[in-house]
Amino acid sequence: MIKKILVANRGEIAVRIIRSCRELGIISVAVFSEADRKSLHVRYADEAFFIGPSPSIESYLNIDKIIDIAKKSGADAIHPGYGFLSENAEFSERCKKEGIIFIGPSSFSISAMGDKITARQSMINAGVPVVPGTKENIQDDKIAIKLVNEIGLPVMIKASAGGGGKGIRLVKKEEDILSAVRAAKSEASTAFGNDSVYIEKYIESPHHIEFQILADRYGNVIHLCERECSVQRRHQKVVEETPSTLMTPELRYEMGKHAVTAAKAVDYESAGTIEFLVDNDLNYYFLEMNTRLQVEHPITESVIGIDLVKEQIKIADGEKLTYIQENIVQKGHAIECRIYAEDSKNNFMPSPGVVKHITEPLGLGVRCDGYVYEGYEIPIYYDPLISKLIAWGETRQEAIQRMKRALYEYKITGVKTTISFLEKIMDTPDFISGKYNTHFIEKNKQFLINSVDTNERNEDIAIITTYLDYISKLENTQSLSLNNRINYWKEFGRRKGVTRL
């Protein structure tokens, strides 16, 4: 039985995983780099070990070091979180060899899905719909042109070792095919040390919809319904929600069945995600599988009512799934906003630095998965994600209103954040109506970036008037009624509330 888990990660996801360990009575072991000495995961874990210099290549990606600490600390298992070593087949295999439980899939499953050409072939064999396209690595110019003519323009050239937007090219004109193949190959070679590419038909204005699955080692696989992840900026998700407004019960049933089939086709174990592109006619196509716990997993937890990290741990411990598909039901609606230490008014430039003040939102239906505290310095070395704010509501409308209320309560100073950008997304008509696809941010760019930020201006005025109020009280203590003064300055901030939908 698993008694002690090493969390091979940092930031909000390390804290998230340790929380589930604590509830299960499992001892947690944190690892930390030089830059993370003062990180919350280090404070919150039962034990913490230094693993090396700040750059992740010398710390969170150092397999030998992590295995060494796992042994020294007596951990029975390692949870990799997301990113870093989470989808590293070699790491999964190494854990197994060392007699340490890897809380995730086998190296076989990771490799089978990590190579996108192999994954596409497995899906075709299993009867899962894939985007029309090629089955092999493109190596010959003539064959490339012939295949594009068969598929029909526009097409996408994608790196087989890529995923999540790296090493992809859109081709609209025949004369651009060969240069795009060459560019994709060169980029893939540099980024992944593998220049295999394949070609897919370009799906216009698709939705990105993914299905959460859980699989035990006895071949039981269930799906936990979908997440709509179409609000993305440069292949970075910004807002996710579940259920998807595009979904019908019939489509969910069909896609869910195919998601389960996809997982079974690679003998999958643990939590995983099957990504699909869905076009306007509700045709859907397997895109790729993420063989890890995902950033946006909490919206599924909110609507399905299952702790995904606990399930991962129980599955890794050899337990059978205790849920059956018929008992999985979606209750209400959940939205996640990703809060980054980035300046949304300056091309989303990273904004590392010391957090001067932070007030996190609370209240019914609000969850805030973060790790920063007052005085904490957000390091430059890692992903600038500060936290994930999740709002649940009985209905989509209630979830939106609750998210706006929570964003209103959220206060962070010292670093720039994306909070005001997220507030604007919640006010965008296309988001409110639920009629949006992967082009949402681009389509609404003027509204999102250039609209005057009245919220922030009002807030500045409120802060200044509060201060003036304070100063005037210092000068004249007898003549002022405190209550009247507060009501007076608060009027400046009044427009910032949540408007009725």
What is the spatial distance between Cα 62 and Cα 392, in angstroms, rounded to a whole number?
38
Work out how close the CB of 349 gets to ligand MV4 at its nearest, in angstroms, rounded to a whole number. 21
| H/E stretch holding 9 | none
279 vs 398 by CB, closer to ligand MV4: 279
For residue 292, indicate whether it is catalytic. yes
SS3 81: coil
| H/E stretch holding 177 | helix 177-192
Question: What is the signed CA dihedral for 102, 104, 107, 113, rounded to 10 degrees?
Answer: -170
Q: Which of 252, 292, 338, 396 is catalytic?
A: 292
**How many CB atoms lie under 10 A from the CB of residue 459?**
17
Work out how close the CB of 168 gets to ligand MV4 at its nearest, in angstroms, rounded to a whole number. 6
Work out how close the CB of 304 gets to ligand MV4 at its nearest, in angstroms, rounded to a whole number. 23
Strands (E), 133-265: 155-163, 166-171, 197-201, 207-215, 221-233, 236-242
Strands (E), 53-188: 77-79, 101-102, 155-163, 166-171
Work out how close the CB of 113 gets to ligand MV4 at its nearest, in angstroms, rounded to a whole number. 13
SS3 213: strand
Work out how close the CB of 207 gets to ligand MV4 at its nearest, in angstroms, rounded to a whole number. 8
Q: Which amino acid is at 482?
A: L
52 vs 114 by CB, closer to ligand MV4: 114
First to last CA, the chain: 51
410 vs 421 by CB, closer to ligand MV4: 421
Tabulate helix, strand, coil % of the chain (nearest 5).
40, 25, 35
For binding to ligand MV4 (CB under 6 A), which residues are involved? 131, 156, 164-165, 168, 200-203, 206, 208, 232, 235, 277, 287, 438
Cis peptide upstream of residue 243 (ω within 30 degrees of 0):
yes
Strand partners, 289: 274
210 vs 216 by CB, closer to ligand MV4: 210
Both structure tokens of 432: 């409110």
**How many CB atoms lie under 10 A from the CB of residue 64?**
8
Question: What is the number of H-type helices and E-type strands within the chain?
Answer: 18, 22
165 vs 375 by CB, closer to ligand MV4: 165
Work out how close the CB of 158 gets to ligand MV4 at its nearest, in angstroms, rounded to a whole number. 7
Residue 422 · residue 339 · CB < 8 Å = yes
Strand partners, 369: 388
232 vs 428 by CB, closer to ligand MV4: 232
Work out how close the CB of 319 gets to ligand MV4 at its nearest, in angstroms, rounded to a whole number. 32
| H/E stretch holding 277 | strand 270-278
240 vs 311 by CB, closer to ligand MV4: 240
Active site residue ranges: 292
